[in-house]
Amino acid sequence: MASVNLTSLDFDTIKQELINYLKREDSPFKDVDYAGSNINSLLDVLAYNTTQNAFYLNQVGSEMFIDTAQLPDSIISHAKELNYVPRSNRSARATISFTVTPPVESNITTLLLPKATSFTARLGTDQFTFSTEESFTYNIDQGVFNISNLEIQEGQFINDTFVYSTADLTRRFVLSDSNIDTSSISVQVIENNGGRILTYKRAADFLGVEDTSQSFFLQAAENGQYEILFGDNIVGRRPANGATIIATYRISSGELPNGARTFDIDGAIQGLTNISDITTINGATGGQASESVESVRFNAPRHYQNQGRAVTVTDYENILRTEFNEIEAIAAFGGEDATPPQFGKVFISVDVKGASGSSEAQKRKFSKFISNKTPLSIDPVFILL
């Protein structure tokens, strides 16, 4: 029996092939006037249906592979299979100094600068909120409190609250704001109606995570959001039934605050209002937007290849450049190439966009990040430019 010869999936070609099939020599419809009869409408419907099915199946097939997927959620889903978490927004950071003078008659000897103390930064006509990432305590010195080299990050902290139920283990804990800086996430689990408060820390993989480890995992969710996951008492401790989960994180404006150098504190500190003008040690740098879909498509397979570990000199350069968008130029070389040779070290020099070299605060940030990805026998050393 003859078959329909489909050589293309466009409407006109499909319809013509159907007509050719019906006009074959052994067909009872070979003498029908297909242009002027009702069967022409039926062929239109059949050709449209065939075209739509072909398009649908082609799209479904394309979304099955990271190379050809078009929907952002499909690409993110494939990246999750490779244990790749797309980079979120990153908050700009600045370093400032100022003094706080208490009244002469006061007996205040220590000053607490709380976490999330806010500052307003101005860049042109735009304003951004910066805040402290942790609390600091200062002692009085000759009648004043000297707040020196204080690092502040752009963005405000918000909380998402969930209730954990062992009766619904399919419950998802999706963080509400897609502008999150994932490096700022902290998770508290409150059990026994407040009788036990546990701090969970993020685990990048299963290595070192035991059944009692207070760890959470992070992965990308739909619509540019992120979600946290907990263990199952085999890999990571599972929260108790009815536990309250509080996820605290910072909302970031990405690269927009970069370059800001004018800061003002928002309100009093511990009731003290005699605060000097703020001196900017390092202007705002390091802010960056979340990773694009095309970047995820490119980086996820390569991340799987090296498992996020820095082994070769090129690994150091690529991992740092991928994680920190503010890096304009980077060079690394092994200690065996130094004069004299210094085995067991990797020397790294970094130039940051909009600055000459990189500040000490930035070097500490780079060093803290890369140290967790190096072999135990290798020490990364950042060179001053």
More confident position, 194 or 307 = 194
Q: What would the pLDDT profile of 254-309 be if each residue is shown by its tens digit?
A: 999 999 999 999 999 999 999 999 999 989 988 989 999 999 999 888 888 777 78
Judge residue 272's burial from the number of C-beta atoms within 10 Å of its C-beta, 0-12 exposed, 13-18 middle, 19 or more buried. middle
Confidence of residue 315 (pLDDT cuts 50, 70, 90): confident
Instruction: Give the residue with greater pLDDT, 176 vs 321.
Output: 176
Q: How confident is the model at residue 88 (pLDDT cuts 50, 70, 90)?
A: very high
What kind and span of H or E run contains 348?
strand 345-352
DSSP string over 234-285 = SSSPPPPTT-EEEEEEEE--TTTTTT--EEEE-S-BTTB--BPPPEEEEEEE
Mean pLDDT of 166-183: 92
* Range from 4-8, 188-192, 327-331 carrying the lowest mean pLDDT: 4-8
Return the higher-pLDDT residue of 360 and 137: 137
Biggest CA–CA distance in the chain, Å, is 112
Strand-strand pairing, 156-163 and 136-139: unpaired
Q: Is the pLDDT of residue 247 over 50?
A: yes
Other CB atoms within 10 Å distance of the CB of residue 173: 18
Q: What is the pLDDT of residue 1?
A: 45
Cβ atoms 152, 94 nearer than 8 A? yes
Residue 357 · residue 351 · CB < 8 Å = yes
pLDDT for residue 220 is more than 90: yes
pLDDT tens for 328-372 read 888 999 988 888 889 989 999 888 876 655 677 778 888 888 887
- Give me the CATH code for the 308-382 domain, please: 3.30.300
At 376 the pLDDT is 78
Q: Determine the pLDDT at residue 317.
A: 86
pLDDT value of position 86: 93
Domain boundaries for CATH 3.30.300 within the chain: 308-382
Q: Work out the mean pLDDT of the chain and round it to a whole number.
A: 88
User: Do 236 and 203 meet the contact criterion of CB atoms below 8 Å apart?
Assistant: yes
